[in-house]
Chain A
Amino acid sequence: MTRERLRGTRRTRSAWGGGRLALVLLLAALLLPAANHLVGDFGLLDPVKAIFLYAILGLGLNVVMGFTGLLHLGIAAFMAIGVYAFAILTADIYPFQLGFWPAMFLTLPIGAAAGFLLGAPTLGLRGDYLAIVTLGFGEITQDVLKNLDTITNGTQGINPVPPPTLPWFEHGDQGWMLTWYEFQKDAPLPWYYLFLALLVIIVVLNRNLEHSRIGRAWMSVREDDLASKAMGIPPVRTKILAFATAAALAAFAGGLWASSLSSSGEPANYDFQVSILALCIVIVGGMGNITGVLIGAIAVSGANDIVLQKLFEWMQQNGWTSTGSVFGSPNNWKFLMFGLALILMMRFKPDGLVPARRRKGGAPADPGPAAESSSHEEAA
């Protein structure tokens, strides 16, 4: 097979295979509210809105884990930084009092700066050690947010945090006028579509990033640190960039999260569990594959917030649960479910539901033979 043909088939397959699935997902997401309206309200809008946020968080983690091949166990810390940055920039009790959009845009550089500050001194460490540092950073962030209660209000959190606003035309006394529409708690539809739109923008940006010079540098560092160094790609700087990008995306998800809760919530909401949830999303979906992350977000967050919840509601209606027993509450089964899901996925489908094209059987620390051969093909 000639090089051109090989490249060509591969490129189109990826553009179609992942893209088609992503389009189907988008269509389903667009139509869900209508179906909700026609068939009957299943209360799906809020959980699906949460899925959008988890997808953004997962896409951020995917930049570090999937593209660059570094194990990151503290992504929730950057989400928390985004949450608190957004809350402090907008809430009435602070001097800044920015609007939704300026504050949201500021979460990106703030998150990136935090990622840079953690990454710059530590990204020279070997894989396992780096994972521990990210884990430690997650713990530190949570404790600092809890303990600096003069600034962060401790476990009470900062509230109220303002909802999103959009420019809107309103028919008033002087005809049509440009005003700002403020999102309301009891009208879920604008939230839903706003979050979906932001997710779509981030997916497109991620996709472009993946195929850009930076994205290729990330992947080359993932496949072989030393070889890419020999090719003139500075590994540590490339990794720092990935780290900062992931942190920025996580912080952005955090800002949206705070706005949708209209509160920063307590620091413990952004603990190790959230980092693991994001990890599950990336791993279940397929590391390094954007469509995979979307599927992962649907599978993991959907299983968590929709399937399990509905199942237990249904069981409760049939009187199959008892409140006195530890087995009676769905929350008490979550650990078991996630644990088994991780174990079984790793055993039988370690590349995720939608494996990335370039990394068959590859892993951050030790790219398997298949990944090696594919990179040889590329070089040939």
Chain B
Amino acid sequence: MEKEIEYLLQLLVTGLSNGMIIALVAIGYTMVYGIIELINWAHGDLCMLGAFLALTLIGLLGIDSWTGPLGFAGLALLLVTSALFCGTLNLAIDAVAYRPLRRAPKLTLLVTAIGVSFVLVNVGLFWGGLPMDVFSGGVAASAPKAFPPLVPATPLIGAEEGVRITLRDVLIVAVTLPLMLALWWLVRCTKLGKAMRAVAQNPTAASLMGIDTDRVVGATFFIGGALGGFGSVVYALNNGTISFQLGYRVGMDAFVAAVIGGIGSLPGAVLGGLLIGIARSMSDGYLETRWTNTLVFALLIVILIFRPSGLLGLRMKEKV
């Protein structure tokens, strides 16, 4: 009996720490949807590029461990560079691809986002073909790349028995939780956050009040992308391999999380992320790994049937 409860708790810990990563990526989806009602299809692939940048930096700088002042600075550098890169890239994508279509029908925008996602996937494929040692030289461009385990999974609690919490779990929470809190503060307590909420509510009225909507939307893309960048590095550290197709997998989980939570709602994205993380680890633990994706999508469909706007989403009347 005790063993079984321990097993369950262990799955919960794994699920929660994975869920935090999913949640961080899901926030990027939900922010963009909240403000311009676009399912940002390319978000997962943006994160994939963030992970590739981190791996490239590891190769260039020769970072091999996180301990010591240099290693710690290296890890921080990876996180910040990837975040800035993803944020800036997302901002640029918005300016080039989405901004000209601001008044176009929603479907036009969505299809553009799918197109952007394909372009990014291809960039990732080419990136993986670079002749670098970290990409394992001769291995084909499309093959998954090993991401060095900079932060080992040393158990901090429960090394011998009991529920095990590792250094990696702590790292995940130490990176993701402050970011979420900072975002909460930004959206609730700053002028930019107020502007974002205003634009989300009604872009026309917001611009009549003197809010530069383009700038606010750009800022949203930047912040969402940056969070995705942080998330991608943590994901790669936790997962150990990356590939150019990673965006689809990670993006899909995060996206489902955002929808389950109620797309457009920040707490919803976090809740959805945690739920998906736990559902995945439970399915891996009690069912079979090969049914996990099926379970996640089945969960999505069932939740949408009973709560069509997600768990924390506002019930919206269809506008005439």
B105 contacts A368, C-beta separation under 8 Å: yes
State A225–B115 Cα separation when bound (angstroms). Answer: 29
A137 contacts B301, C-beta separation under 8 Å: yes
Residues of B near A326 (CB, < 8 A) are 125-126, 128-129, 140-141
A341 contacts B248, C-beta separation under 8 Å: no
Select which of A122, A124, A131, A340 is within 8 A of B115 by beta carbon: A340
State A338–B294 Cα separation when bound (angstroms). Answer: 28
Per the CB 8 Å criterion, the residue count for chain A at the interface is: 51
Main secondary structure of the interface of B (DSSP, over half): helix
B141 contacts A332, C-beta separation under 8 Å: yes
Taken residue by residue from 257 to 293, chain B's Cβ proximity to chain A (1 for < 8 Å, 0 otherwise) reads as 0010001000000000000000000000000001101
Tell me if B122 is interfacial: C-beta within 8 Å of chain A.
yes
Taken residue by residue from 51 to 78, chain A's Cβ proximity to chain B (1 for < 8 Å, 0 otherwise) reads as 0000000000000000000010000000
State A226–B318 Cα separation when bound (angstroms). Answer: 9
B112 contacts A136, C-beta separation under 8 Å: no
Q: In chain B, what residue has the closest Cβ to A225?
A: B318
Taken residue by residue from 82 to 108, chain B's Cβ proximity to chain A (1 for < 8 Å, 0 otherwise) reads as 000000000000000100110011111
Tell me if B180 is interfacial: C-beta within 8 Å of chain A.
no
Size category, B interface: 35 or more
Residues of B near A332 (CB, < 8 A) are 122, 125-126, 129, 141-142
B104 contacts A350, C-beta separation under 8 Å: yes
B101 contacts A346, C-beta separation under 8 Å: yes
A343 contacts B112, C-beta separation under 8 Å: yes
A-B contact count (CB 8 A): 147
Tell me if A339 is interfacial: C-beta within 8 Å of chain B.
yes
Tell me if B171 is interfacial: C-beta within 8 Å of chain A.
no
Residues of A near B123 (CB, < 8 A) are 336
State A136–B308 Cα separation when bound (angstroms). Answer: 15
Residue in B100, B117, B294, B298 with the greatest tally of chain A CB atoms within 10 Å? B294
A320 CB to closest chain B CB (Å) equals 17
Taken residue by residue from 349 to 380, chain A's Cβ proximity to chain B (1 for < 8 Å, 0 otherwise) reads as 01000000000011111101000000000000
Tell me if A191 is interfacial: C-beta within 8 Å of chain B.
no
Q: Would you mind naming 5 contact pairs between A and B with Cβ atoms under 8 Å apart? A: A126-B308, A136-B300, A137-B301, A326-B140, A332-B122
Point out residues on B near A: beta carbons under 8 Å. 37, 39, 97, 100-101, 104-112, 114-123, 125-126, 128-129, 140-142, 248, 252, 255-256, 259, 263, 290-291, 293-294, 297-298, 300-301, 304-305, 308-309, 316, 318, 320
Point out residues on A near B: beta carbons under 8 Å. 71, 121-122, 124-129, 131-133, 136-137, 139-140, 143-144, 146-147, 225-226, 272, 276, 279, 283, 325-327, 332-336, 338-343, 345-347, 350, 361-366, 368
